[in-house]
Amino acid sequence: MSIVLDEQYYRKLEELQAVGFALVELTLYLDTHPHDAQAIQQFNQLGMQLHQCRQQFESLYGPTLQYGNSFSKYPWQWSESPWPWQV
């Protein structure tokens, strides 16, 4: 089975990557500013947003994370390509 890569695919993938990047940056910031309540609140909000974005992306295009962090539909979806890191 081949996945059709349409404009929505790239838009949703970019959103997923952007939120993930913001979380990495906030993590680095919070490592040196652990008492910044506003940054912690933003981190938690972005974490929820990332979870929602990932669920939506995976429901349309398949899993994004290995080792049980993303579930697969039947049949096994990991053999389908391209994987998000290949586009």
**Domain coverage including residue 14:** 1-61
Q: What is the pTM of this model?
A: 0.76
Domain membership flag for residue 53: yes
Domain membership flag for residue 67: no
Domain membership flag for residue 24: yes
Which region, left, alpha or beta, applies to residue 67 given φ > 0 means left and ψ of -120 to 50 means alpha?
Answer: left
- Name the token pair of 20: 């993930």
- Name the token pair of 39: 């940054």
Domain membership flag for residue 40: yes
Q: pLDDT per position in the chain (87 positions), as tens? A: 456 678 999 999 999 999 999 999 999 999 999 999 999 999 999 999 999 999 999 998 888 877 666 665 676 666 666 666 676
Could you read off the pLDDT of 3-28 as tens digits, one per residue?
A: 667 899 999 999 999 999 999 999 99
How many domains does one find in the chain?
1
